[in-house]
Amino acid sequence: MVPELEKATVRIRQLERVMGIIRSIKAQGRNKLQVISDFDMTLSRFGCNGRRCPTSHNILDNSRVISEDGKKKLKDLLHYYYPIEIDPNRTLEEKRPLMVEWWTRAHELLSQQKIQKGDIAQIVRESDVMLRDGFHELFDQLHKYNIPLFIFSAGVGDILEEIIRQANVFYSNVNVVSNYMDFDDNGVLTHFKGPLIHTYNKNNSVLQGTEYFQQLSTRTSIILLGDSMGDLTMADGVPSVENILKIGFLNDKVEEQRGKYLDAYDIVLESDETLDVVNGILRYIL
Ligand code: C5P
Ligand code: MG
């Protein structure tokens, strides 16, 4: 059915159940399907050439427009809060206020750096960001069949939109909800618009008023793509879900996090920098 599921990176706890969901999504037809995806470390790569790839925030943090002092402070925040973000021994309730703290502090620091709207394209071009191998096929397939792709990101919307624009895949079926920058009349960053989206509030609470899912209420089959335990609630706003297939990229601390990921995601992809499995499933369904 889907030969890509034989890849060594694939782990599935309940294979028959997964096959059942995939068959059912196919039977419902492509007009019922929507894809809901995280961005950083899900559509973009976690590592490349033995090094970490940047998140949309890191692209700004590391760019030439940030002062040396600003860079150091942003890096200190990352080193303090990232281990908390992925700690399998802390509850989401414990993590939530700390994530708000991280994002708030980082956005304050970035807002002091006089970042110009007009510099964003160049900042992205000069960064090491990479989309996962196979991104072209993914975006092209979804566009060809007019299947909505909803990117729900706790990263920086202006940056991630520029990444997919430069990759020539920002098609009309792609919608983004994320943290967006606000600029003054001179095009200088002053603050980030609300509501703040962090790793662990990616649910209905920040989608109020966007009406996005209501318009898609007939799209009752969902493929959800994420890399964090916080990504599992991204489809909560969909009014009636008939079939949902959750695919999780397990990028970091693989051994420690495996159990939780296998409990929560239908398919877990361990240290897999490609979209092969997602593309294989879509090829079968479409
Ligand atoms: O797109 P996604 O929801 O994955 O974006 C959030 C990611 O950005 C988090 O996984 C977090 O590690 C990262 N982040 C960062 N710098 C910040 C805040 C979050 O790199 N200041
Ligand atoms: Mg992510």
Residue 248 contacts by C-beta under 8 Å, 6 or more apart in sequence? Answer: 225, 226, 227, 231, 261, 264, 265, 267, 268, 269
- Could you confirm whether 38 is annotated as catalytic? yes
**Complex ipTM value:** 0.99
Cα distance between the two ends of the chain: 12
Instruction: Name the DSSP letter for residue 36.
Output: E
> What pTM value is reported for the model?
0.98
> What are the C-alpha distances in Å from 98 to residues 85, 94, 101, 107, 205?
8, 7, 5, 14, 18
Question: Is 272 in contact with 249 (CB distance < 8 Å)?
Answer: yes
What does the alpha-carbon distance between residue 54 and residue 271 come to, in Å, rounded to a whole number? 16
Instruction: List the pLDDT tens digit at each of the 286 positions of the chain.
Output: 999 999 999 999 999 999 999 999 999 999 999 999 999 999 999 998 789 999 999 999 999 999 999 999 999 999 999 999 999 999 999 999 999 999 999 999 999 999 999 999 999 999 999 999 999 999 999 999 999 999 999 999 999 999 999 999 999 999 999 999 999 999 999 999 999 999 999 999 998 878 888 889 999 999 999 999 999 999 999 999 999 999 999 999 999 999 999 999 999 999 999 999 999 999 999 9
Does any ligand 1 atom lie closer than 6 A to the CB of residue 41?
Answer: yes
Ligand 2: distance of its center to the CA of 185 in Å?
32
Does any ligand 1 atom lie closer than 6 A to the CB of residue 153?
Answer: yes
Burial 151-168 (b: 16+ CB within 10 A, else e): bbbbbbbbbbbbbbeeee
Residue 197 CA: which ligand 1 atom is closest?
3
Does any ligand 1 atom lie closer than 6 A to the CB of residue 55?
Answer: yes
Q: Are strands 10-11 and 189-192 parallel, antiparallel or unpaired?
A: unpaired
- Could you confirm whether 252 is annotated as catalytic? no
C-alpha closest to that of 15 among 251, 253, 245, 255: 245
How many Cβ atoms are within 10 Å of 140's Cβ, its own excluded? 13
